[in-house]
Amino acid sequence: MPANIATGSETMAATPVATQIDVGFDIKWLRIVNADSGDSLEFFQDQSAAAGYKRVAAGTGAVISSGGITIADGNRGFIIGLDSDINAASEVLFWVAIG
């Protein structure tokens, strides 16, 4: 069965808030890149809510357990948490989701 793929961009609010994006399918993998800072966040199916693997532009990476990605109710999208490297005021995020 072919995978579902969705891509998009989102400009974050001037005062960051958790932001929900609906893609219409169950997400197995998600990558978000902050176009302004170069920081990125990946989320894999079955990770805990608000988690992810974050890599900052300086090159260091870490698993995070808060402020990351949460699968939206109904498993049809995702919520970008309040991690300050990813969800930064008025910065643009590009994302790709595969289901």
**Does residue 1 carry a pLDDT above 70?**
no
Question: Which pTM value belongs to this model?
Answer: 0.92
pLDDT digits (tens, 9 = 90+) for 43-84: 999 999 999 999 999 889 999 999 999 999 887 999 999 999
Cα separation, 80 vs 84, in Å, equals 11
Integer angstrom CA distances of residue 70 from 36, 43, 57, 98: 23, 9, 23, 15
